Structure 1
């Protein structure tokens, strides 16, 4: 991987034609350190957020040793790269082959379920062993989450109590989990969920060894900062003390976005300016899915391709590279009025889900990765730097 001082140096020295991921390993170091030292929950990194091997290596170097995997492919990736890693297979619906591979080929012993049918699949494909850790996922409210996850996964209170009783018969260790939604902006969501889960445990009448409070821990974007991560940790830890679980029960969490969002930005080339329209080489079928479809406001900055001074401001519509006419930003963006072909837009704090959700539609999607040393974007873990243009806003700061 090539290393540069800043993305400006990337532009000056290589004039890249394809989108470039600008990786900032010190951001991963900072986030991993916070979760290890400032939160008593064991972090299981949600691999789905960013499976880039350079990101995984930085997390490992930062002390992260546990991983939340959603498929046998992710399990294989982690076990191959980090043989001693602790892996949890935390997708509530798994096919039988994936369960068998995870247990027999890759040594996974931690599985999640939210139905009796899935519990039976796990037991059958693993051979009813005595070393399973079974986590029962419970449905909870997603109020306050930018991306609610309610509806698809999670057992109801009555069903969860029944599954817990049945799982306790077979599990070496038994746990409960939930997910309050992605980019959850209310720390109280965890307090509410943990109180609900505690009541379910009492109803089930079983001992519980593990409480997994899931993911949802936020990152910071151009539309404002969430509450401090310390407030989330304090809320979770206080709520855990009041739960009806074993005194020596373990507390887990599944951070994805909060660990890696700040680690990468994407440098996109402007291929055409047509009146008030800009065409760039990434879009809704690439790393900018959330910016287009979910209206997420990523911080951004313009980098001149030839070093000229940017002048004035103008409202532009930004289009991605594909043939789909819906491959465009939902709102016009205020950007320098003298933009032209060969200039670049850098989208910051895109390290979570940008890479993971990219497709190869129309043959696009090829990128390169470089390492940079600057830290221009808002951070939950440290200082801020350069000028940022807010997407969907006529203001700059």
Structure 2
């Protein structure tokens, strides 16, 4: 197996395992796919689109630069993500900040850096932003651009933990309960704030366009309702992200060009029904850009055969990482696939379970996967589609060292996030 023109064996010899291997060319091509597809589709109905890369999925200085160079803006949700973006040279105008519990320091930083949008998540936060804006000398001539996060009541996503637009959860202001409209009207009361628009993110790993269409309709209806109540037409709507990818062969990733056309046509249809214009649109893909671009390489250690209660023999294949570099299977049952990557294996396959090295029985990377019957200690296993929420959610459980991120392109590799060392761990421990 090769990634970016480099044999896996050579990558392992140079960089060790576990390692995240990200294909720069693939990342850039997926970024362009979103920009081109949505720009063309929404241009056809008379409006513009901004594509924000959702940094929460995976963010490093190099990746932020790639996104910027391919015409994307950057969505952040913490001071740390803003710091990475600033280091990468992302301007304030090309950056957004959201989150349900932004600190005063984070809000002040965003205002001072001149971020293009702060997505307010509560009525109290709108008032806080207004106070901080005044303290930073912002007024009617240079207001802080604000969006309001809305929960549209649409339940979508692969798991309850990643479905983010139902009413009973921590994000946003309820559309059904009238809080969303109240929040939008509140922003308009402060001359030091500019109401840019409304924001809705309905979930993650969504593989059916229907939920996105419903969300777009609800957002346009809210915009029309505000125009009726306050006489203000919001210039922009952010439709969020959540576009599904393929983790295993039977998954069907969402068709991005087709989705763009569907959403654009839906927006035009609803706008015509409401007798209004189509606003500028923004979207926030993260997983759907970086997820498929990366594989995690592990080295096989202990192998043992276990007979289940049903009499099935399962081969447990232990690797040198696990839930510290991919918490998603343990957190909400995410599924992946893997292959023997360093050599050709036996044509006969065995039912295997790939497990990590942590002190948890739930430390399972892949529950069931077919591997060659002759898999052995020292082999290299490649797990596909680990670019999103692997390294970004990594931990030091058992004081394990976080893996590096290695960028590959045209037969060359370079470290863009280095492997942690024991010195890094001990530097934080003051004894």
TM-score (norm 1): 0.85
> What aligned pairs does 1:206-225 form with structure 2 within 5 A after superposition?
206-222=232-248, 223-225=250-252
2:75 aligned residue (68, 71, 81): 68
Partner of 2:108: 100
Shift of 1:311: 4.2
The residue aligned with 1:167 is 187
Does residue 1:78 correspond to 2:48, yes or no?
no
SS in 1 for 2:392: coil
CA distance 1:32–1:161, shift in 2 (3 Å):
same
Shift of 1:173: 3.9
Pairing 1:24–2:23 present? yes
- Whole-Å separation in 1 of the counterparts to 2:36 and 2:275: 24
**Deviations along 1:229-256, whole A, 9 cap, x unmatched?**
1222122212322246974731101111
- Alpha-carbon distance change, 245 to 215 in structure 1, aligned in 2, over 3 angstroms: farther
Q: Which moved more, 1:157-166 or 1:196-205?
A: 196-205
Whether 1:176 and 2:206 are equivalent positions in the alignment is: no
Q: Tell me by how many angstroms 1:140 deviates.
A: 2.0
Tell me which moved more, 288-297 or 117-126: 288-297
Q: Is this contact kept in 2: 1:103–1:109, CA < 8 A?
A: no
Instruction: Give the match for residue 353 of structure 1.
Output: 389
Question: For 2:209, which of 181, 187, 190 is the aligned residue?
Answer: 187
Segments of 5+ residues of structure 1 without an aligned counterpart are 376-397
Match of 1:114 among 87, 108, 121: 121
Task: Select 1:369's aligned residue among 388, 405, 410.
Answer: 405
In 2, Cα distance between the equivalents of 1:107 and 1:246?
Answer: 30
Structure 2 stretches lacking a partner, 5+ long = 40-48, 306-314, 412-431
Between structures 1 and 2, the one with greater helix share: 2
Match of 1:283, SS? coil
Contact 1:28–1:62, Cα closer than 8 Å, also in 2:
no
Q: 1:245 to 1:102 in 2, by over 3 A?
A: farther
Residue 59 of structure 1: CA displacement?
1.9
On the 8 A contact 1:173/1:210 being kept in 2, the answer is no
The Cα shift of 1:73 comes to 1.5
Determine the C-alpha separation between the residues in 1 that align with 2:322 and 2:283: 31
Corresponding residue of 1:152: 170
Tell whether 2:336 aligns with 1:337.
Answer: no
Structure 1 partner of 2:353: 317
Cα distance change, pair 12–353 in 1 and its aligned pair in 2 (3 A):
closer
Distance of aligned partners of 1:109 and 1:57 in 2 relative to their CA distance in 1, 3 Å threshold: closer
Give the equivalent residue in structure 1 for 2:335.
297
The 8 Å contact of residues 4 and 23 in structure 2, kept in 1 or not, is answered as: no
Q: For residue 318 of structure 2, what is the aligned residue in structure 1?
A: 279
- Change beyond 3 A, Cα 1:192–1:289: same
Alignment partner, residue 284 of structure 2: 254
- 1:263 is aligned to 293
Which of 264, 267, 273 is the equivalent residue of 1:237? 264
CA distance in 1, matches of 2:380, 2:351: 16
Which consecutive aligned stretches of 4+ in structure 1 deviate over 6 angstroms post-superposition? none
**Shift in Å, 1:144:** 4.0
CA contact (8 A) 1:49 1:356 kept: yes
Aligned residues: 367
- Per the alignment, do residues 320 and 12 of structure 1 end up closer, same or farther by CA in structure 2, a change over 3 Å counting? closer
Partners of 1:246 and 1:167 in 2: CA distance: 22
Could you report, residue by residue, the CA deviation over 1:58-85 in whole angstroms, capped at 9, with x for unpaired residues? Answer: 2223232x11110122112212311435
